[in-house]
Amino acid sequence: MCRLESEGDERSDERSIPCAEPAIPRNSLAPPLFTLCVWLVVESALLRSSNAPPSPFSRRFVRTAASFVHTCVCLLQRHVMGFKGDLRQLKELQQNPPPLPPPPPLTMALLSSLFEKARRSKDPALTQICLDLLALPADQGPIQAAAENAEKIEGQHTFSLAHENAFTRAILDSEVAAKGTLLWAMNRATEPDFLSSPSYANFAAGFVMLTRVVAQTHAALQPASFDLATAIFEQKPVIEEDSITAAHAVHEQTRKIKEACCELFVFVLAEGHVLEVLNYVTATDDMDVSLTRYFAARLLEMVAPPFSKVFSAGLGRLLAKQQVKVGLTSEHFGGKSKKLLGEAVAGVVQAGGLDSDQSKALKDFYVGGK
């Protein structure tokens, strides 16, 4: 903190930081500093990708460069706030750097080196550098535990959070660890051999459960959880067996996974990500008639008029989709869901999110213009 020095205060501490307008424009250091951060990441990646183990010099170089970048970021932060910098502060910051999260691109690069299989560092020294840049020593435990458990799970044929207590606890305790696990899961789910692997159904179901746990625990990671769920939802597993029974079993497993994804979609929508979810469900071609009914039933149970214009416009576009019309007017969609659908259509029309022609067409189709 900055303590202002008054002219009449003879007890002024020489180590206090005087406030002053920076001599150079604010934020002028940001572009070159960001470039330096990116350069550091690239250099670290080159060292990790080398077949030969890093030499003591390269380890010392990366550690020194990382410390230098962290110190520069701290000084830049003070500069932007209007504090005057000097060499004494630089030395203090090098010895006791304050907690400062790295910029998002650097964070993702560091998490990649810990969680992604193809980029994971095998050198403990480089791993520790990544942990030091990501968090303070007291907060590194959950990140390291999540990364180690993710590597262990890769060698298993099954994956369930219910059986991975240490993994789950790390996700719950640390948002950074949770972000790393989402990165790990997305990387595994998009590998070319994932759909054809015998463990596909088990891992896909585990990944969807992971998205739910992360989305419920860390609100800031709900968009990333939604992205992972959509990636799994769009997958079409390879069916190599000629047996009708085996093909039916794969179909049922896939359907349960997609239903779990729909549950996540509804949860994320209820948390405020309305447009992202409705726009995706409206645009996707991977939701068949039965899944459309499933999603609509869950959605209608959670929402009720009066609607905002933004929500009514998104819901109106969804209800106007031909596949949705087929699903919601079938004999399998009735009872309470049918009643809730009528109320939702009335709410969309009343909110005014659609133009008059669209509202009339929607009302005529679902409630017969009544």
Over residues 150-187, the pLDDT tens digits come to 999 988 888 888 888 899 999 999 999 999 999 999 99
| Reported confidence tier of residue 36, pLDDT bands at 50, 70, 90 | low
User: In the chain, what are the domain boundaries?
Assistant: 15-134, 140-270, 273-370
Nearest to 164 by CA among 201, 199, 210: 210
Give the pLDDT score at 240: 62
**Distance (Å) of CA 277 to CA 31, 170, 246:** 35, 28, 33
Over residues 267-322, the pLDDT tens digits come to 998 888 888 999 999 999 888 888 888 888 888 888 888 888 888 898 999 999 88
Which residues neighbour 59 within 8 Å (Cβ) at sequence distance 6 or greater? 123, 125, 126
What backbone phi and psi angles, to 5 degrees, belong to 303? -120, 155
CA distance 367 to 225: 36
- The two three-digit tokens of residue 257, written as one number: 């996974």
Place of tokens 């259509």: 345
Nearest to 217 by CA among 180, 169, 278, 260: 169
Using an 8 Å Cβ cutoff, are 172 and 224 in contact? Answer: no
Greater model confidence, 195 or 31: 195
Over residues 229-249, the pLDDT tens digits come to 999 999 887 666 566 666 677
Give the pLDDT score at 183: 95
CA distance 254 to 242: 17
User: Any alpha helices (H) in the chain, and if so which ranges?
Assistant: 30-49, 56-80, 87-95, 104-115, 124-134, 140-154, 165-173, 175-189, 200-217, 222-233, 244-270, 274-283, 289-302, 309-319, 322-328, 336-351, 356-367
Percent pLDDT > 70 in the chain is 68
Average pLDDT estimate for 221-228: 94
What backbone phi and psi angles, to 5 degrees, belong to 19? -80, 140
Over residues 331-365, the pLDDT tens digits come to 878 788 888 898 999 999 998 888 888 888 988 88
Place of tokens 């213009």: 369
CA distance 147 to 154: 11
CA distance 211 to 54: 36
Using an 8 Å Cβ cutoff, are 268 and 302 in contact? Answer: no
